[in-house]
């Protein structure tokens, strides 16, 4: 039986291309036996994902990815085995999605001033799910011929220092950890390299978050080098955090993000999360 697992994937309910059912089918085809759906700011697809996973014979975990306030990088958390009906969290998610909507309108205005006309209808059609985010804008820009690649859309226009960037509502990191724990989730810091912290600062930050409930660290994720992996493993050991790993899969053919893999042709090691019984 396959030992491949993947604790961080996305569906079309946020900024992925595959539906929750299609993700399960793709996971089965890829030999993944444990997979967690961690869409941005929504649990809309988790019930379908877990139920269909049972019918296909794999362990499908309901999860979420939640962004927190941060400067100089990104601070994201994955909440695994999260409840999809914990109202305090659902209210936060609704507020976050509304904030995304307002931001998207402002981004489209900025892009228009730069000679790139994209309508709200085009954006909604591209998204299809409950969450409409910058990756959807990037895809529309690419389809319209305004950029030559998805990455160019971010690098030149949509990144935090780009001319079309607009900020949005986020919880503080400790608030994000607390609300996810209250919703019954196992909480891990996602792709810690994106925090853009020095080694000692990363240790201290995660140690502080552990005091409010942080349980894990995503040791294996795309674009993480060997030195960083060794660092994250040491931090996990010193702080008593559980090691996790995820492909951050969004779409078939995405470079370095095949299901169950954190690098091209390099599978995520067989990890277990005792707190979840997996």
Q: Is the pLDDT of residue 34 over 90?
A: yes
Looking at the fold, whether 177 and 39 belong to one and the same domain comes out as yes
Task: Give the integer Cα–Cα distance in Å for 168 and 102.
Answer: 8
Domain check: are 61 and 81 in the same one? yes
User: Residues 96, 47: one domain?
Assistant: no
If one compares 135 and 93, the residue with the highest pLDDT of the two is 93
Quote the number of domains for the chain. Answer: 2
Question: Residue 104: which domain range?
Answer: 92-158
- Kindly write down the DSSP assignment for every residue of 39-90, as one continuous string: -BT--TTHHHHHHHHHHHTSEEEEEEEEEE--SSS-EEEEEET--S--HHHH
| Same domain for 8 and 129 | no
**99 and 41 fall within a common domain:** no
The listed range with the strongest mean pLDDT (95-104, 229-238, 248-257) is 229-238
pTM of this prediction? 0.87
Q: Specify if 115 maps to a domain.
A: yes
Query: Could you tell me which residues come within 8 angstroms of residue 168 by beta carbon, excluding any fewer than 6 positions away?
Result: 96, 99, 100, 102, 103
| CATH number of domain containing 127 | 1.10.150
> pLDDT tens for residues 96-145?
998 888 889 999 999 999 999 999 899 888 887 778 888 899 999 999 99
Same-domain check for residues 24 and 153: no
Confidence of residue 255 (pLDDT cuts 50, 70, 90): confident
pLDDT value at residue 124: 86
Answer yes or no: do 80 and 131 share one domain: no
- CA of residue 165 relative to chain centroid, distance: 19
Per-residue model confidence (pLDDT) at position 1: 43
**CA–CA dist 197, 209 (Å, integer):** 15
Position 167 confidence tier, pLDDT thresholds 50, 70, 90: confident
Based on the domain organization, do 146 and 253 belong to the same domain?
Answer: no
Give tens-digit pLDDT for 46-72: 999 999 999 999 999 999 999 999 988
- Residue 187 has what pLDDT? 98
Answer yes or no: do 69 and 190 share one domain.
Answer: yes
């Amino acid at each position: 039986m396959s030992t491949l697992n993947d604790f961080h994937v996305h569906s079309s309910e946020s900024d992925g291309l595959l539906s929750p059912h299609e993700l399960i089918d793709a996971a089965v085809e890829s030999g993944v036996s444990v997979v967690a759906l961690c869409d941005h700011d929504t649990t809309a697809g988790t019930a379908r994902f877990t139920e269909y996973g049972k019918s296909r014979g794999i362990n499908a975990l309901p999860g979420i990815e939640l962004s927190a306030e941060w400067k100089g990088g990104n601070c994201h958390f994955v909440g695994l085995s999260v409840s999809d009906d914990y109202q305090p969290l659902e209210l936060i998610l609704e507020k976050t999605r509304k904030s995304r909507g307002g931001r998207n309108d402002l981004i489209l205005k900025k892009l228009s001033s730069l000679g790139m006309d994209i309508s709200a209808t085009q954006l909604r059609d591209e998204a299809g799910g409950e969450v409409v985010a910058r990756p959807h804008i990037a895809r529309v820009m690419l389809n319209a011929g305004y950029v030559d690649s998805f990455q160019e859309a971010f690098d030149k226009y949509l990144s935090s220092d780009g001319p079309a960037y607009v900020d949005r509502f986020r919880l503080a990191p400790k608030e994000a950890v607390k609300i996810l724990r209250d919703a019954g989730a196992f909480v891990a810091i996602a792709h810690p390299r994106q925090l853009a912290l020095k080694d000692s600062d990363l240790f201290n930050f995660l140690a502080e978050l552990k005091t409010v409930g942080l349980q894990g660290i995503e040791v294996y994720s795309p674009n993480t080098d060997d030195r960083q992996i060794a660092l994250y493993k040491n931090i996990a050991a010193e702080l008593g955090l559980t090691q996790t790993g995820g492909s951050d899969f969004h779409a078939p053919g995405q470079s370095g993000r095949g299901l169950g893999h954190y690098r091209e042709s390099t599978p995520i090691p067989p990890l277990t999360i005792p707190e979840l019984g997996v």
